[in-house]
Amino acid sequence: MSKKRDQWEMLGVMIQIVSEAFKDDVDKGGKPYVLHCLEVMYGVDQTDPEQMQIAMGHDLPEDKPEYTKQVMKDLGFSERVVEGCHGMKHRPGESYDDYIKRISLDPKDLTPCKLSDLRHNSDITRLKGVRKKDFDRLEKYNKSYIYLSN
């Protein structure tokens, strides 16, 4: 019988899984996508390993659908982490505004994670060039950030 890992150990597992899952992916600026996940993780409460796991794995269910709730449970992640990671995923047919409103209903995990995600996604220095659609996206992110901050 194996010993149950503590949440700090599970943070290491999450970092390893996300690093492997996104190893061939790059962001809009051409940098390894895993760096975005790390930045989001560093933007949440550094004393809460489960919140850090959610932030690190926030894009896993949406971008890597093989990471179902059951797979994540089988990997040893807590219910809070599994639900948090999957809660960050847009639901089919869900508008962006409804998505942000749903995120706001979870001030303990989803809101801090999304705020960190929005902060990092709003850093235009990550882009190779800035076009009108980038400014439009930044405006959308800014509105969401203000909404979630209140």
Q: Give tens-digit pLDDT for 119-128.
A: 998 887 776 7
Q: Which of 98, 90, 93, 32 is nearest to 61 (CA)?
A: 90
pTM, entire model: 0.91
Q: Give tens-digit pLDDT for 44-95.
A: 999 999 999 999 999 999 999 999 999 999 999 999 999 999 999 999 999 9
Q: Which of 119, 120, 21, 116 is nearest to 63 (CA)?
A: 21
**Which residues lie below 8 Å from residue 58, measured CB to CB, with a gap of 6+?**
37, 40, 85, 88, 113, 117
The Cα 58–Cα 69 span in angstroms is 13
Quick one: tokens of 102? 């749903």
Length of the chain as a residue count: 150
CATH number at residue 115: 1.10.3210.10
Q: Which structural domain range is residue 143 located in?
A: 7-149
In a domain, 1, yes or no: no
